[in-house]
Structure 1
Amino acid sequence: MGDGTGATDMKKQSSTGMTRRGLLRAFAATAVTTAPVYANAAGFLRGNAGDVRHIAMYSGRTGERIDTIYWIDGEYIGEAVKEINVFMRDWRTSEAVQIDLRTIDIMAASLNLMDTSEPYMLLSGYRSPQTNAMLRSKSRGVARNSLHMRGQAADLRINGRSTTQIANAALSCRAGGVGRYPGSNFVHMDCGQVRSWRG
């Protein structure tokens, strides 16, 4: 729920934010895993393994699912990114914003590193200020200036992976903030400063 900005047990790993080089290393270290629906593009994917990025998620709140390639050959695919923005909207208010592409890249790289065909369950993407204030009134773990309100964070889980496995994958990207919440069974990822914490 939070983004670690106020956590006293936060372990700061670096004073720098996410770097493109760090993300490229993460993508280079992973094999592109594609769903059967992309079988027709197998030849293209084999020839451009570093230039295809894929994300798959579902929402228990709305029942919606998304499974898309959003980057091909060095270019973001506008329509796919728009779908991701809508999917990651504040489901309580239906407000959507531009999700920071760096956050989407961190999520996709982490998913690839876990070598799973399971999608993420998205618990929280963009949060309106009203939603953030409401959640903050109910939990000390919600930051006042949460990166969720900027479209720069996501709270995620994968049924077949533990919070430790998900967090370790995200941490290996060295590309932003990673918070592990084992009690609530989710991991927070954002494109802020490189840091980690346990909630």
Structure 2
Amino acid sequence: MTDTSSLSMTRRGLLRAFAATTVAAAPTFSSAAGFLRGSGDIRRIRMYSGRTGERLDTIYWIEGQYIKDAVKEINLFMRDWRTDGVKSIDLRTVDIMAASHNLLDVNEPYTLLSGYRSPQTNAMLRSRSRGVAKNSLHMKGQAADLRLSSRSVGQMARAASACAAGGVGRYSRSNFVHMDCGVVRTWGG
């Protein structure tokens, strides 16, 4: 189910993201060093969808291995709710989301506004807004639009940017942050 070519991307970038998460959360350098060696390495993602009312709270990676059933749950949760279309979500994006969440030190789940988008949904949204890209990474399962009520758009964007592993868009007027596993870049205000 997981495409290894999509995972080879930025192993370094993702390791940097989780290293940054660990260093920010670790009380001492020695604790961070242990994490970087792989001891106790788990990755968890928590999300809520106001569109479907669904909640997701899952550990999707344990010590170097993605958990197949958890990945399936993530794919279903992040589906295009308008068409019910499901696509394999690029796990690099999930890793960026999880690392950013850890940096923010919150228990609140992300509110997922948009994960995978079918070409039809993307075209419809594009016809209504200049902020929707024609070749959006959402259509490839490589992007998510997220919100936290306990953190500002600026705080979320800074956490995602600290991962240095993909694109980060600030949408302050709409109160959400876009995170993707594409080229490292930032935009918005």
* TM-score > 0.5, shorter chain as reference: yes
1:115 to 105, 108, 113: 105
Compute the RMSD of aligned alpha carbons.
1.4
| Amino acid across the alignment from 2:148 | I
Are 1:22 and 2:23 an aligned pair?
Answer: no
Distance 1:132 1:169 in 2: 27
Q: 1:170-197 deviations in whole A, cap 9, x for unaligned? A: 0000000000000000000000000000
Please list every run of 5 or more consecutive structure 2 residues that lacks an aligned counterpart in the other structure: 1-8, 24-37
Q: 1:131-185 deviations in whole A, cap 9, x for unaligned? A: 0000000001100000000000000000100000000000000000000000000
Are 1:135 and 2:125 an aligned pair?
Answer: yes
| Aligned counterpart, 2:90 | 100
| Aligned counterpart, 1:48 | 39
Matches within 5 A, 1:1-199: 19-31=10-22, 48-49=39-40, 51-198=41-188
Q: Taking every aligned residue pair, what percent have the same amino acid on both sides?
A: 75
Instruction: Give the count of matched residue pairs.
Output: 167
Moved over 4 A (4+): none
| 1:31 CA displacement | 4.2
Q: What TM-score, normalized by structure 2, do the two folds share? A: 0.85
Comparing both chains, which one has the higher relative contact order based on Cα–Cα distances under 8 Å and sequence gaps of 6 or more?
Answer: 1
Distance 1:65 1:194 in 2: 29
Distance 1:24 1:114 in 2: 17
Q: What TM-score, normalized by structure 1, do the two folds share? A: 0.81
